[in-house]
Amino acid sequence: MVSIKSRLTALTLYPVKSCAGISLREAVVTRAGLMHEQIHDREWMVVDAEGNFLTQREHPKMATIVPKIRPGSLELRAPGMPNLEIALGLPQPDDERLVSVKVWDDRVQACDCDEAAATWFSSYLGTPCRLVRFHSDAKRVANPAWTGGIEAPTLFGDGYPLLVISQASLDDLNARLTAQGRTALPMARFRPNIVLDGIGAYEEDFAASITIGDAAIKPVKPCPRCPIPSIDQATGEIGPSPLDILQAYRADPKIDGGLAFGMNAILLAGENQVLRVGQAAEVELAF
């Protein structure tokens, strides 16, 4: 093992799956991912009439739906739309409208949000859809084949509660892009929860553990990249894409040749610890 001193340089919470994130100075880390002001990462999701999840893959405009935490509510903004207020208080059991929703291969129970939210999302995305919230009694866990049998809960994320990327990895990719006369990309294209500085490019791939204060985080699976990094997160427009550059050097046989960028991770210890931007981190590398 090799221990490297690092630093936490960014924290991002994504309240609604595939919509914009919220950059935070501090966040609580839980086994199910980041949390701030009692709002969990990917706690909400947009679904079609059959309960199947929608993402930027099919609806790039979702990138331009911007959340903001208000006292007692989550406010959503989008170009040309009135602001939408989502109450944070949970409905009484008798008032819940439960629906079965599907995210990848998992089907779980969720609370259907109101008709105002459904109308808002349907109007903006141009397709019938609804907003749902992860139900407190629902259970969804990361693939135990990658977690080493550890039960790691997650909400509506693609499969794991945390995504970690080093700043050096993005810097290396951008150096390759600019060497070809192409535009450097911001970290937002890759939608991490945690960004670390002070370790080398792609060294997160070899991290056995990441310790930040009393929180112990374990990277468990390379993150295979879909077309979302090809979407400008500020405008929702497609391009320029980094996938051809990644294809040249980041195809990973461990994920069937998928283009790996960043590591999916789980929390081993330190439930409900507060993480702060600027905080020291220690990365144990297992080369």
How far is residue 28 CA from its own chain's centroid?
Answer: 15
Given a contact cutoff of 8 angstroms between Cβ atoms, the answer to whether 167 and 200 are in contact is: no
Give me the mean pLDDT over the 139-165 stretch: 97
Task: Indicate the pTM of the whole model.
Answer: 0.96
pLDDT tens-digit series, residues 91-142: 777 778 999 999 999 999 999 999 999 999 999 999 999 999 999 999 999 9
pLDDT tens-digit series, residues 202-241: 999 999 999 999 999 999 999 999 999 999 999 999 999 9
Helix (H, G, I), strand (E, B) or coil at 79: coil
Q: Which helix (H) or strand (E) covers residue 143, if one does?
A: none
Contacts 24+ apart (CB under 8 A), 255-258: 255/221, 255/222, 255/224, 258/222, 258/224, 258/225
* Domains of the chain, earliest start first: 2-285 (2.40.33.20)
